[in-house]
């Protein structure tokens, strides 16, 4: 007789990003989960990033649908099987395989991996897992240091560079910030023990892999030197004078020279005038983004800024957006308003926490099927046909900053 199987037992597969988030919340130690939720100050922007999508309606057809729908596209010359890229995040301590698991999942599902310079895995390992990797840099260190980091990313095979320049070192959240240890040694492990011992499955993964979460940034190591701690790297960043538009143009042209013309994205654009300056600085792409609401609180939801910016510069460069994407129909809404594709942050972090590489693949599958379902309902044969007419856009929805 076969062993009795409880038919209500949860399958590790999850049906939505919200379910993945709930699993991540249960699985992760409180400070790690809190670090992923992030957000800043009163949490206005992080909440708006998602709620603004709910203000947009869809205008479906009842018949005349297309039996086949296409969603392949390209961003910065990189062909992708769905219009969703992995946005760079420091995924430290979420899973022992960290960014390598995310990169493998992105490769398995035919999309681009964005790798943060604060990542816990090296650019060499990540490119080996997914050759379609864009390396992300903040404006930190002096120009020589930045050149050396660009050279390393290029030598590793990174196919593009993302410069994220919107960070404003906002401190403090009304709901409190999680404590992040300087380094996870035995002493710290004991101090965090009460929060961690209840998370047996999360600990077991690290025990099985024979590692403890190591809060260092290997991609910021000097040649032949040790990786700085997360705090050491953050200090360097905080004490670096902020970049000018000349610096943006310098970074773009330096990357082009040393990489033989590989593409460059400026991430964190909110204003139409900045988007135009980015075009003047020679970028190939921008991401309309408020850093997932982790930055300057009170900036509008990213989706509200897409249409004015895409209208201004979308014919010259690739305009992608990130912030608040939690379902396939969100992706369709962003594309209908002029984005070429979107990037996701927390959605894949929840998947990674819930089920490693398979969990990230699950997230990409959830988004793919949601995009396909929206395309079917809207009666279009592919994402290229989407226009604002497929949406119900309330009056005053868009925010044209600096137009």
Ligand X SMILES: Cc1cc2nc3c(=O)[nH]c(=O)nc-3n(C[C@H](O)[C@H](O)[C@H](O)COP(=O)(O)O)c2cc1C
Q: Between 87 and 216, whose beta carbon lies closer to ligand X? A: 87
Applying CB under 6 A, the residues found at the interface with ligand X are 35-36, 38, 49, 87-90, 116, 118, 136, 164, 267, 289, 291-292, 294, 322-325, 344-347
Among 364, 120, 143, residue whose Cα is nearest residue 251: 143
Which CB sits closer to ligand X, 69 or 294?
294
Give the nearest residue (CB) to ligand X: 345
Active-site annotation holder among 291, 307, 390, 398: 291
Contacts of 229 (CB under 8 A, 6+ apart): 182, 183, 215, 216, 217
The secondary structure element, H or E, covering residue 1 is none
Based on its alpha-carbon atoms, the radius of gyration of the chain, rounded to whole angstroms, reads 21
CB of 325 to ligand X, least distance (A): 5
Residues ≥6 apart with Cβ < 8 Å to 234: none
CA angle 82, 87, 88 (to 5 degrees): 145
Rounded least distance, CB 61 to ligand X, Å: 30
Angle (nearest 5°) at CA 335 between 60 and 265: 170
Closer to ligand X by Cβ: residue 118 or 139: 118
Across 147-181, b (16+ Cβ under 10 Å) vs e yields: bebbebbbebebbbbbbbbbbeeeeebeeeebebb
How many CB atoms neighbour CB 311 within 10 A? Answer: 18
Active site residue 291: yes
Which is closer to ligand X, CB of 192 or CB of 237?
A: 237
- Contacts of residue 91, defined as CB under 8 A and 6 or more positions apart, other chains included, come to 98, 99, 102, 116, 119, 120, 349, 352
Shortest spacing between CB 9 and ligand X, in angstroms? 30
User: What single DSSP character describes residue 173?
Assistant: B
**Toward ligand X, which CB reaches closer, 27 or 267?**
267
Residues carrying an active site annotation = 291
């Amino acid at each position: 007789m076969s062993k009795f199987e409880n038919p209500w037992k949860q399958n590790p597969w999850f049906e939505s990003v919200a379910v993945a988030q709930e699993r991540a919340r249960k699985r992760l130690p409180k400070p790690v989960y809190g670090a992923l939720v992030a957000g800043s100050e009163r949490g206005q922007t992080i909440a708006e990033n998602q709620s603004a999508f709910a203000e947009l309606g869809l205008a479906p057809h009842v018949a005349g649908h297309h039996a086949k729908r296409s969603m392949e596209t390209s961003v910065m010359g990189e062909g992708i099987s769905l219009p969703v890229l992995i946005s760079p995040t420091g995924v430290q301590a979420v899973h022992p395989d960290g960014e390598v698991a995310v990169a493998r999942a992105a490769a398995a599902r035919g999309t681009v991996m964005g790798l943060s310079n604060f990542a816990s895995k090296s650019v060499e390992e990540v490119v080996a897992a997914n050759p379609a990797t864009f390396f992300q840099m903040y404006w930190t260190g002096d120009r020589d240091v930045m050149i050396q980091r660009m050279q390393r990313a290029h030598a590793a095979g990174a196919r593009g560079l993302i410069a994220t320049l919107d960070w404003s070192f906002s401190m403090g959240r009304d709901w409190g910030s999680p404590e992040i240890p300087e380094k996870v040694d035995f002493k710290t492990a004991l101090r965090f023990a009460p929060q961690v011992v209840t998370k047996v499955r999360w600990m077991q993964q690290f025990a099985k892999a024979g590692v403890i979460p190591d809060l260092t940034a290997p991609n910021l190591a000097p040649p032949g030197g040790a990786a700085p701690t997360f705090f050491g790297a953050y200090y360097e960043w905080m004490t670096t004078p902020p970049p000018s538009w000349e610096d943006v143009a310098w970074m773009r042209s330096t990357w082009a020279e040393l990489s033989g013309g590989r593409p460059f994205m400026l991430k964190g654009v909110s204003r139409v005038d900045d988007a135009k300056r980015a075009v003047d600085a020679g970028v190939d792409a921008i991401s309309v983004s408020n850093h997932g609401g982790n930055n300057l609180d009170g900036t509008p939801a990213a989706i509200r800024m897409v249409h004015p910016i895409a209208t201004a510069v979308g014919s010259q460069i690739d305009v992608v957006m990130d912030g608040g994407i939690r379902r396939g129909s969100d992706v369709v809404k962003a594309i209908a308003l002029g984005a070429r594709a979107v990037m996701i942050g927390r959605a894949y972090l929840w998947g990674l926490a819930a089920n490693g590489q398979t969990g990230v693949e699950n997230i990409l599958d959830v988004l793919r099927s949601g995009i396909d379902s929206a395309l079917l309902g809207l009666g279009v044969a592919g994402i290229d046909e989407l226009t604002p007419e497929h949406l119900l856009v309330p009056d005053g929805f868009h925010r044209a900053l600096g137009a």
